[in-house]
Amino acid sequence: MKILLKSARIIDKESEFHNTVKDILISDGTITHISDQLGEVQADKVIADAYVSQGWTDSSVCFGEPGYEERETLANGMLTAEKSGFTHLLINPLTHPVTDSKAAVTYIKDKTRYCAATAYPIGALTVESKGEYLAELYDMQSAGAVAFGDYKKPISNSNLLKIALQYTQPFDGIVISFPNDTKIMGKGVVNEHIEGTRLGLKGIPALAEELCVARDLSILEYAGGRLHIPTISTAKSVALIAEAKAKGLDVTCSVAVHHLHFTDEVLDNFDTNYKILPPLRDTENVLALREALDNGVIDFVTSDHNPLDIELKFKEFDLADFGTIGLENVWGVLSQYTTVERAVTLLTAARKRFGITTIPIAVNTVADLTLFTPEGTSVFTKEDILSASKNSAFIGATMKGKVLGVIANNQLILNE
């Protein structure tokens, strides 16, 4: 198959063609020509005036399968990700059984082998994600796991985190530690702030996150190793991680796209799609997160995509599960809060962190590309949801720009 990208604006800081407009010819999955104008070319598909970058990576995605196929299958989840601009996905171990063995990692790799995007399982850090004993970390990494963490479950045992950081050092494993002190969280369901108090909803203090971030960074400084702190949501977390990076600690962090876009003021209607962990924060914290997009403290942005069926969400706010989908909305939100170049960096930086091959846009390289535009606005509706589950916090939200599709694994996936 031949694909011609006509007058494509290349956004790739690792490429000699960065921020230039070129014609790009792709034949059977390989970039064969990059030129100012290629003239008359026979191609199976011509796409004009797109922005093109290295394929994006999402560092936190849940799909359900195996065990929770009613929420999302791997097949439809991968297609949703591809149409959302992602060619590399880190899949959380929120499955049944939990992804805590070599066989479970192999299952996900095998089931997604022929997709355009590539799945990289995150192995559970502990057996069945119960927080008691380390799982088969080395075996899982040998099978293709790229990191280890228990999704949305904090490592309450400080010594276990220390041992995990030490144990993974010989094979360069990455430990993911979700920052949430469950004792301080208690029965909280929203941010501890005036909005939650006004609505009569129990609060989750920012302290619940910040204590864990401080503890984890102290343990990292003592034990060494490689640590990733996912989906931070407060200004103090940003400051703590900035201080740790200045010390030279091997730590990265991410922010979920919904924490960039919403404040806790959206809770007025008790819509359970806004029940998220960590909770949506107040304006001061959201502004701090947006500022950290550009100063290098936040390493990458994630959808933190968590599909949940209606039985888990169509309940009283206190009883509903935490989580929202978001793959479809990452670009439309992120492009509102930073430059195109910085946004692409935030959507591709996870590749290097998690050992995924980086392929600059150049002649005679494999085409692993995202096609998009930063122009135009639209309102996201329920009909725009590609996921099997519909628990989206973004219904009714304004999106900026559009994802056109991806070219990866010798496949072209377009939104048409």
Which pair of tokens denotes residue 205? 């203090």
Q: Mean per-residue pLDDT for 201-227?
A: 97
Distance CA 350, CA 356 (A): 8
Q: How far apart are CA 320 and CA 412, in angstroms?
A: 38
Token representation of residue 355: 């050992």
Percent of the chain with pLDDT over 90: 97
What pLDDT score does 40 carry? 82
pLDDT tier for residue 74 given thresholds of 50, 70 and 90: very high
- The pLDDT value recorded for residue 42 is 87
Q: What is the pLDDT of residue 145?
A: 97
Strands (E), 112-166: 118-123, 147-148
Query: With 80 as the cut, is the pLDDT of residue 52 above it?
Result: yes
For the segment 16-40, what is each residue's pLDDT rounded down to a tens digit? 999 999 999 999 999 999 999 888 8
Which phi and psi (to 5°) does residue 219 adopt?
A: -65, -40
Which residues share a beta bridge with 412?
407
Catalytic residue from among 12, 299, 304, 368: 304
Model confidence, pTM: 0.95
**pLDDT class of 383 with cuts at 50, 70, 90:** very high
Q: What is the mean pLDDT of the chain?
A: 96
pLDDT (average), residues 87-95? 97
Q: What is d(CA 119, CA 84) in angstroms, rounded to the nearest whole number? A: 15
pLDDT at 300 over 90: yes
Question: Over 90: is that where the pLDDT of 7 sits?
Answer: yes
Per-residue pLDDT at 176 = 98
Indicate the pLDDT class of residue 41, thresholds 50, 70 and 90: confident
**Integer Cα distance of 189 and 203 in angstroms:** 6
Q: How many angstroms separate the CA atoms of 291 and 298, rounded?
A: 9
Q: How confident is the model at residue 5 (pLDDT cuts 50, 70, 90)?
A: very high
Domain boundaries, the chain: 55-354
SS3 73: coil
| DSSP classification of residue 126 | B
Q: How far is CA 55 from CA 112, 135, 349, 361, in A?
A: 17, 31, 11, 10
Residue 108 confidence class, pLDDT cut points 50, 70, 90: very high
CATH number of 55-354: 3.20.20.140
Number of helices (H), then strands (E), in the chain = 14, 18
Tell me, yes or no, if 304 is annotated catalytic: yes
Do 358 and 14 touch, CB atoms closer than 8 A?
Answer: yes
What stretches of 226-270 show up as alpha helix (H) in DSSP? 235-246, 257-261
Dihedral Cα 353, 357, 359, 360, nearest 10 deg: 30
